[in-house]
Structure 1
Amino acid sequence: MNIPLLDLKAQYRTIKNEIKQAIDKVLEEQRFILGKHVALLEEKIANYCNCNYAVGVSSCTDALLVSLMAINIKPGDEVITTPYTFFATIGSVVRLGAKPIFVDIDPETYNLNPKQIEEKITSKTKAIIPVHLFGQFGGYGDGGIVVTNDDFLYKKIKMLRVHGTEKKYYHKLIGG
């Protein structure tokens, strides 16, 4: 018997009708960018994560990039993560001129090995990006979300997701 490591089709079959109804609603309303459904999703995820805020973005890559931009990652900084990830993790770090510092995975969980993290932290370490692969089905195609309890980061991430604007056509930053 061949049992797949991850069977997204099995999970999809259990929620297929619910997904189709949600897609139909959005298509009927014709509000595809940052509409009420995005705001509702952000609210639900913030509550689920026990956080004050959640900001939806167009992809996991954007979630990584705007998060790093919001905390001012810059050339010379170090960001700890794992090489056992999709390229976007490393690409977001390098795009900002920072250096990825690799920590191996724990062979039992396939997540960052917590025993190795502490020994890699230096005065240049500005962030740690944990990575989980083989998780639960989170969305079709691309999509990402950032959660935080910090008011300043929330406002900055919201601005970065819309190309650095606070108000339409007034760009204060170069966004993600």
Structure 2
Amino acid sequence: MTKRTLPTLDLKRGYARIKDEIDVAVKEVFESQYFIMGPTLSAFESDVERYLEVPRAIGCASGSDALLLALMALDLKPGDEVITTPYSFFATVSCITRLGATPVFADIDGDSYNVTAESVLSKVTERTKAFIPVHLFGQMVHLEKMRSELEGKGIAIIEDCAQSFGSWREIDGAPVRSGSYGVMGCFSFFPTKNLGCCGDGGMVVSRDQALADRLAKLRVHGAGTTYYHDEVGLNSRLDAIQAAILRVKLRHLDRWNEERRAAADRYKLLFAENDLLDLVTPPSEDEGNYHIYHQYVPRVQGDRDGLVDFLGKEGITSRVYYPVPLHLQRCFSFLGYGEGDCPVSEKLSRQSIALPIFPELEADEQEWVVSTIARFYGKN
């Protein structure tokens, strides 16, 4: 008898729902033989511009490149400082150090896992050139509490939206999409994202036309016209096949995000029904936020790593995002940070666990996950 298993994300289930649409879209690209740049990419960029209500969207090769291109467009140089979070994926900070600039870490809120205005503003110096907020796990940072002060000092806000395509926050009585509030927004289309392609892919959006024009050149080796290079850029293009796939998926994204939200609500109810709320703290959704639950990450008491192992032995995959905060990573030791410098991030790195969540997740599978957690804690 085959052992029952559950991954954190089941891409096969998602593909099965839209297989016919994907097949048609990819076939059209092959029939056109227009694989790099071209009309399919332009059409997807236009789709994103309408969805996010931004003037320009520029496809690129990955979310990591999106961040790097954004900082290159700001002419970041050695000696410049960029404020960001220590509780994120590696690319959030590597893009800063690759250009010789200095990351400055602002600690996070223990409920939302996002940086706070207070922590960010306390880190501003005369050398601060940019701030990279990460809309972690699918909900937005409270940017309205700091944008005026930061931009008043000439500090650019570059939103890291790798985990938040489709999320929004109510600001001044209106919904503001992730990526549309700062001067630039950077997205990843890695296959596991809420809007994911079938390979690597990324995008930078901007409300500044001059920056957008420069980004469009930087992604093609800095060339304004083919073989005429204004500066040294990157070879970082979103190919037409990935753009075609993303056009299809974008049409379904809002429904999928609603299904993720329903799964998150169900987890919270199940934790309560299994008398686990003293041991498992569900992720919070800040007032005014539309959380899309790219990951479902509660905090747990006791032996978190033991729980991960216990779930795995039962066939349930869980993950830890992130086991070592960025300020404590060996490669960034030259920055001089140590234990205790970002205490909330450090605490969460010991307590957080990512449980399975995806649009097609079944109620009985969630019941299995939560009942297994209850058994680990001796609740049943």
Indicate the SS of the match to 2:224: strand
Aligned to 1:150: 208
- What number of residue pairs does the alignment pair up? 176
Q: Closer, same or farther in 2 for the Cα pair 1:2/1:126, shift >3 Å?
A: farther
Aligned to 1:82: 85
Give the 5 Å matches for 1:1-176. 8-134=11-137, 135=163, 136-176=194-234
Shift of residue 52, structure 1, vs aligned partner: 0.7
CA-to-aligned-CA distance 1:7-43 (integer Å, 9 cap, x gap):
5555444333323322222222221111111101111
Q: Closer, same or farther in 2 for the Cα pair 1:7/1:105, shift >3 Å?
A: farther
**Aligned counterparts of 1:6 and 1:108: Cα–Cα separation in 2:** 24
**Aligned counterparts of 2:14 and 2:121: Cα–Cα separation in 1:** 36
**Aligned counterparts of 1:70 and 1:59: Cα–Cα separation in 2:** 16
Structure 1 contact 70–157 (Cα < 8 Å) conserved: yes
Indicate the SS of the match to 1:79: strand
Amino acid at match of 1:65: L
Mean CA deviation greater in 27-36 or 14-23? 14-23
Identify unmatched segments of 5+ residues in structure 2: 138-162, 164-193, 235-380
CA-to-aligned-CA distance 1:136-173 (integer Å, 9 cap, x gap):
23323211111112121011101100001011111110
Shift of residue 82, structure 1, vs aligned partner: 1.7
Indicate the SS of the match to 1:120: coil
**Aligned counterparts of 1:119 and 1:22: Cα–Cα separation in 2:** 49
**Aligned counterparts of 1:106 and 1:15: Cα–Cα separation in 2:** 38
**When the two structures are superposed, what TM-score results if normalisation uses the length of structure 2?**
0.43
**When the two structures are superposed, what TM-score results if normalisation uses the length of structure 1?**
0.87
Shift of residue 130, structure 1, vs aligned partner: 2.0
**Aligned counterparts of 2:103 and 2:41: Cα–Cα separation in 1:** 32
**Aligned counterparts of 2:136 and 2:26: Cα–Cα separation in 1:** 26
**Aligned counterparts of 2:25 and 2:117: Cα–Cα separation in 1:** 39
Shift of residue 2, structure 1, vs aligned partner: 8.4
Shift of residue 96, structure 1, vs aligned partner: 0.7
Q: Closer, same or farther in 2 for the Cα pair 1:25/1:95, shift >3 Å?
A: same
State, as a whole percentage, how many aligned pairs show the same letter. 48
Task: Tell me: higher relative CO, structure 1 or 2? Use CA pairs within 8 A at least 6 residues apart.
Answer: 1
- For the aligned residue pairs, the C-alpha RMSD in angstroms reads 2.2
Q: Closer, same or farther in 2 for the Cα pair 1:91/1:3, shift >3 Å?
A: same
